[in-house]
Amino acid sequence: MLKEDSKKNMACSRVSGPDISFVVAEHLCHSCGTCAGVCGNHAIEMHLSSFGVYVPVINEELCTHCGLCVRVCPGYGFDYHKQYCRIHGSLPEHAILGAYLSGYVGYTTDREVLHRSQSGGFVSTLLIQCIEKGLADGAIVTRWRQDSPLEPESYIAKEREQILAATGSKYNPVPASRMIRNILNEPGRFVFVGTPCQIHGMRKAEEDFPELSEKIFLYSGLSMLRESIRETVSMILNRAAPIRTQKIMVQPNEYSN
Ligand SMILES: Cc1cc2nc3c(=O)[nH]c(=O)nc-3n(C[C@H](O)[C@H](O)[C@H](O)COP(=O)(O)OP(=O)(O)OC[C@H]3O[C@@H](n4cnc5c(N)ncnc54)[C@H](O)[C@@H]3O)c2cc1C
Ligand code: SF4
Ligand code: SF4
C-alpha cells in the first residue's frame, strides 16, 4: 500500500504531517542524510543498521511532525522536471546526461593528488583550485574516520591537506547531506562533493532553504556511469560521427604519461 502511494507521489514534493519513518520501513532510504541535515529540532540521527548502512532514527520526544524531512527526502521522490526547470530554466536536451555545455576527459597534473586520488584526481584538484583561487571558502568532502576506519565522515575542508585527506571513493552509502546545518551555519561559499542521491537531497532542501543555493558555489557530482553506459556510449558515438572510433575506454588503467 505504502509502496503504491510512494510511486503515485513521485512527482510530489509538498507534503506535510508524516516523518520519514515510512521511507525507511519501505526500503526507499538511500542514506543520504538530508533529513538529519534539515531537522531544526535535531530529532534525527543517522545510525548504522545491522546491514551496515546508515538509516535515520527519529527521537519522538523532539519530533513535532512538521513534515520537513519528508519534503526534502529523495528516497520519497525526486521530480526531475520540476528541479531541472527550477535550476536551469528549462528541461535538458538529453534526459540522462542532463544539462551540459561540453564534455572533456582529463586528469590532474598535480602528482601528489594523482597518486592519492581515485580516478585521476580531477575532483580534488578542482576543489584545491577553487579554494586557492578564492572562488570557494571550502568543500564538503568525505574521509574514513581515523578512530573507526570503515566508517565514513563528511566535513568541511578549507585547505589542501584537508582535501587530500578525503581523496578516493568511499563505495558506501554516506550521509553527506546531513552537513546542511553545518553549511548554513558556516560563513562562506562551498563546493559540495557528492553522489546523485546526496545531491538530489540537497537540491530538494534548497526549496525550503533558499540560502543553501547561495552557499553552495558548485556541486561536484560523482558519476555512476556504469548505470547508463549503453546510452552514454551511443550518445558519444552519435556526437562523434565524423570521427572513426576504434576504442572506448571507460576507466583507463593509468593516467600518468
Ligand atoms: C559510491 C560511488 C560509486 C561510484 N560509481 C562509479 C561508477 O559506477 N562508474 C564511474 O565511472 N565512477 C563511479 N564513481 C566515481 C569515481 O569513483 C570517482 O569518484 C570519480 O571518477 C572522481 O575521481 P577523482 O580521482 O577525480 O576523485 P578524487 O580526487 O579521488 O576525489 C574523490 C572525492 O569524492 C569524495 N567522496 C568519496 N566517496 C564519497 C561518497 N561515498 N559520498 C560523497 N563523497 C565522496 C571525496 O571526499 C573526494 O573529495 C563512484 C563514486 C562513488 C563515491
Ligand atoms: S532524506 Fe535521505 S537519509 Fe533521510 S530518509 Fe530520505 S533517503 Fe533516507
Ligand atoms: S517531522 Fe519535522 S521535527 Fe519531526 S523529524 Fe521530521 S523534520 Fe524533524
Helices (H), 17-109: 21-25, 34-38, 68-72, 80-88
Expressed in angstroms and rounded, the spacing between residue 181 Cα and the centre of ligand 2 is: 15
Per-residue confidence at 225, pLDDT binned at 50, 70, 90?
low
Residues with a CB atom less than 6 Å from ligand 2? 20, 23-24, 29-35, 56, 73-75, 201
Per-residue confidence at 83, pLDDT binned at 50, 70, 90?
very high
27-63 confidence digits (pLDDT tens): 999 999 999 999 999 999 999 988 889 999 999 999 9
Confidence check: pLDDT of 115 > 70: yes
Please tell me the predicted confidence (pLDDT) of residue 31. Answer: 96
Give the number of the atom of ligand 3 that is nearest the alpha carbon of residue 19: 1
Expressed in angstroms and rounded, the spacing between residue 118 Cα and the centre of ligand 1 is: 7
Expressed in angstroms and rounded, the spacing between residue 100 Cα and the centre of ligand 1 is: 20
Cell 558519476 belongs to residue = 223
Percent of all residues in the chain with a pLDDT value above 70, rounded to a whole number: 81
Q: What are phi and psi of 29, to 5 degrees?
A: -80, 135
Averaged over 145-164, what is the pLDDT?
Answer: 95
Residue pair 161/140 in contact (Cβ under 8 Å)? The answer is no
Element (H, E) at 155: strand 152-157
Please tell me the predicted confidence (pLDDT) of residue 200. Answer: 97
Nearest CA owner, ligand 3 atom 1: 65
Question: Which amino acid makes up residue 141?
Answer: V
Averaged over 2-10, what is the pLDDT?
Answer: 36
**How far from the centroid of its chain's Cα atoms is residue 33's Cα?**
10
Please tell me the predicted confidence (pLDDT) of residue 229. Answer: 57
Residues with a CB atom less than 6 Å from ligand 3? 19, 39, 41, 43-44, 58, 63-69
Confidence check: pLDDT of 96 > 80: no
Residue pair 65/17 in contact (Cβ under 8 Å)? The answer is yes
Give the number of the atom of ligand 3 that is nearest the alpha carbon of residue 20: 6
Whether ligand 1 lies within 6 angstroms of the CB of 119 is answered as yes
Expressed in angstroms and rounded, the spacing between residue 155 Cα and the centre of ligand 2 is: 19
